[in-house]
Structure 1
Amino acid sequence: MNNPIAGFSKLSKEEKINWIAKEYFSSPTDAIALLKNYWNTDEKLQKLHDEFIENTITNFYIPLGVAPNFLINGKFSTVPMAIEESSVVAAASKSAKFWSTRGGFKATVIDTEKIGQVHFIYKGDESKLALFFAQIKNKFFSNTESITKNMQKRGGGILDIKLNDKTNLLPNYFQLHATFETKDSMGANFINSCLEQFAKTLKDEAQGYALFNTEEKDIQVVMSILSNYVPNCIVRAEVSCPIDDLKEKQIENPLDFAQRFVQAVQIAEVEPFRAVTHNKGIMNGVDAVVLATGNDFRAVEAGIHAYASKSGQYTSLSHAKIENGIFTFWLEIPLALGTVGGLTSLHPLVKLSLEMLENPSAKELMQVVAVAGLAQNFAALRSLTTTGIQEGHMKMHLNNILNQFDTNDTERHAINKHFKHNTVTHSAVVAFIAELRK
């Protein structure tokens, strides 16, 4: 880049692209052509995508796949998954098919409580603040009635508000800790609107509170914001069957497999280096469905990984046991999801994904997402404890290598035939392509 630019956001999309192409690329014409190649030919649809974020120059595609045969609470579903990583959809599908003949997945929503906080600084007598809060608590509810009215009609709203003393962590630091029920919406805008009104009420009421001195009346609100850590918005997913029922082509000795599987999970429970990768596999399934259904996968990731650390050490999200001849594998994760609002009513593929899932409620979507994570984890652990992870993964990765080297149909046929019985590695595929092209 040669020079900074002022007013970039005010430029048209064409002007933005032309500036970027000229400043950063050796061939501006090729760069412009590539960016425009990913525009949608439907102008109305492209305008919709342009307005999702700021300074849009093109669309960045991620494949949308489906994993069929998920039997969840006695009902079959085909699960949409938006992800770029090889083998994730295939692994989920394989797990779904495996468990569909062994009772399927059971999923239960344990709770749906969301959290928001007003963080503030109060310099004064803590007992006076506690008394002040108790006297004005009802005003937090009454002053937000215009915000909560529609949510209350749907069965949601503000559940409770507490005053938390955090002065042991930071001098003069207190918070209003509020819990919410937001039904089928994720509820971020609703919660944040309530919190901002709480902050206003807190400051206004403090000014007129007779027991406060001048300094105590000067409550400083630092910020009002929802939390993506929702340890009481929990869903459980599990599978179980008699150990003998685990037998299949890959699992000739089901008891040995079950024991090694449980040991693999136990290692992830006690070893953070393994737990991170173990949980990443769970998130392959979780994130893919969260993204396909227009939810915030960054918020979900942050909340789930915080939950994995709630004991003080990062640990496995899933667990397994053998008891009375029964193999059981389960997880419990926090999920704050929505099926109304946000992208759910805007993005055409999000609407399609939700319709594919038969327009689930937020609770039903929580169950599907948790099951996808468990299925993905089962597939990974089954591979790790039997053939190893690379055999299946690298065969799925083979297509990416073939595309990288722009192989033709004849070459692809020869390569696929050769690696049907040979180990797939990047270097082996490159060497074979080079030999074919001599």
Structure 2
Amino acid sequence: MENKIIKGFSKLSRIEKLKYLGEISGKGDQIEADLDYFRLNDLEQQSLLDEISENTLSNFFLPFGIAPNFVINNKVYHLPMVTEESSVIAAASRSAKFWADRGGFHAKIVSVEKTGQVHFMWQGKSDRLKQVFPDLKKELMCATHSLTTNMRRRGGGILDVSLIDMSHELDNYYQLHVSFDTLDAMGANFINSCLEMMASTLETFIHNQKDWTEEERECEIVMSILSNYTPDCLVECWIECDIKDLDGVYDGMTGEVFANKFLKATQIAELDVYRACTHNKGILNGVDAVVLATGNDFRAVEANAHVWASQTGKYKSLTKADISDGKFRYELKLPLALGTVGGLTKLHPLAKLGLELLGDPSSRDLMMMTAAAGLANNFGAIRSLVTTGIQHGHMKMHLSNLLNAFNANKAEKLMAKTRFAQSTVSYSEVENFLNTLRNTK
């Protein structure tokens, strides 16, 4: 593509955008054909999707699947998952089936507070600001009263406002630290609207302190924004069983041997940051897939999880394993701010369907389901790592992708699946097999 600044691109129609991209790339027919192929025949539905983002040319499809038979707190769920990675849904399903016979997944909500901040600069002695803070807090709550009416009516709203002195880190820097309960809503717009109203109220309040010096009556609002770090919006999920119930998890390995190898693997993820990163990625394989399928924000979820994993000052595993009194227990504690109303949850047709398949859960229920998916995927990964090795199952699932990459036909695919049923799958082995097959023909 030609390196050229595009001016006024957003003002062009979709057809004009395609034509423009075709001209500067020299691939106009290909671009138009490929992008049109992935647009819906339902014009009303496509119009809805077009307006979700900006400069939309087409749709980018990802597989929408189901991981069935999750027993969570003694109820059965079939979890919708959106992912492009081979073996994620298979691993989740396999773990769900394994634990369904061993008590299933257990989950509880620890807390549901979300956080927002007003960052501001103020010159003066902090004691003076702290002295008037009780009055300021009353004004802040009063100023946001109309914004929080509906949320308060449903049992949520602003939980608390505190003043944080950060001037020891940056000269004259302070925060209003605000906690919220947004119930089933994601709450981003609600939180940010409240914070901006608080910022304006703060500025006026400080300016009106008649007995303060002119310098003290100046307040610079730097920004008002929610935080995606929600350490007080927390879910805990765990699996547990007698060690003897792990017998047969792998041929020739007792439950005790398996449990001890599993424990060592999780301890390594607590000690070594290289392993911790991949370990936690395995959790997020499951978490992200449910988050995407229900129209939630997977980038916020990932950022939140990684900060939580680093809270001690060292990046660590999000899970812990324990063996005691003849029992095996594996748990995940995760900050997870999700919503089941607002955003794309009811706007995107597949997100809406995903939530309907779950029985239109509350945000608390969705938090527990999502945590279970994360723990299931991670358990499946560790189980493979300490038994067969990760590639054995993963590359079996990846075989279809490799065959499609080589444009294998139906007959070749059937023969390849038979050929690799009991042997290692690799790019070169699949290529050699197809070449031999085609040369023989």
- TM-score, normalization by structure 2: 0.98
Conserved 8 A contact 2:18-2:28: no
1:202 aligned residue: 202
Conserved 8 A contact 2:165-2:175: yes
2:284 aligned residue: 283
- Equivalent residue letter for 2:325: N
Tell which deviates more after alignment, 416-425 or 112-121.
Answer: 416-425
- Equivalent residue letter for 1:216: E
- Equivalent residue letter for 2:430: V
2:372 aligned residue: 371
2:384 aligned residue: 383
**Partners of 1:386 and 1:297 in 2: CA distance:** 31
Tell which deviates more after alignment, 317-326 or 207-216.
Answer: 207-216
Q: Residues 84 and 2 (structure 1 numbering): CA distance in 2 closer, same or farther, change over 3 Å? A: closer
2:35 aligned residue: 35
2:432 aligned residue: 431
1:151 Cα deviation after fit: 0.2
1:356 aligned residue: 357
Which runs of structure 2 are paired with 1:15-94 in the superposition (5 Å)? Answer: 15-24=16-25, 26-94=26-94
1:249 Cα deviation after fit: 5.2
2:264 aligned residue: 263
1:147 paired to 2:122: no
**Partners of 2:432 and 2:217 in 1: CA distance:** 75
**Partners of 1:413 and 1:93 in 2: CA distance:** 24
2:169 aligned residue: 169
1:416 paired to 2:439: no
**Partners of 2:328 and 2:147 in 1: CA distance:** 48
1:135 Cα deviation after fit: 2.1
Tell which deviates more after alignment, 311-320 or 418-427.
Answer: 418-427
1:124 aligned residue: 124
1:190 aligned residue: 190
- Equivalent residue letter for 1:165: D
1:181 aligned residue: 181
1:107 aligned residue: 107
**Partners of 2:200 and 2:249 in 1: CA distance:** 64
**Partners of 1:267 and 1:277 in 2: CA distance:** 11
**Partners of 2:164 and 2:427 in 1: CA distance:** 55
Unaligned runs of 5+ in 1: none
Conserved 8 A contact 2:249-2:255: no
**Partners of 1:198 and 1:229 in 2: CA distance:** 20
2:247 aligned residue: 247
**Partners of 2:342 and 2:303 in 1: CA distance:** 21
Conserved 8 A contact 1:128-1:211: no
**Percent of aligned positions that are identical:** 51
1:5 Cα deviation after fit: 2.5
**Partners of 2:246 and 2:42 in 1: CA distance:** 49
1:3 Cα deviation after fit: 3.6
Tell which deviates more after alignment, 244-253 or 232-241.
Answer: 244-253
2:330 aligned residue: 329
- Equivalent residue letter for 1:274: R
Conserved 8 A contact 1:123-1:216: yes
Runs of 4+ displaced beyond 6 Å? none
1:182 Cα deviation after fit: 0.5
1:2 Cα deviation after fit: 5.2
1:228 Cα deviation after fit: 0.4
Indicate the SS of the match to 1:345: coil
Q: Deviations over 1:223-258 (max 9, x none)?
A: 000000000110000000000101235253110000
**Partners of 1:4 and 1:326 in 2: CA distance:** 63
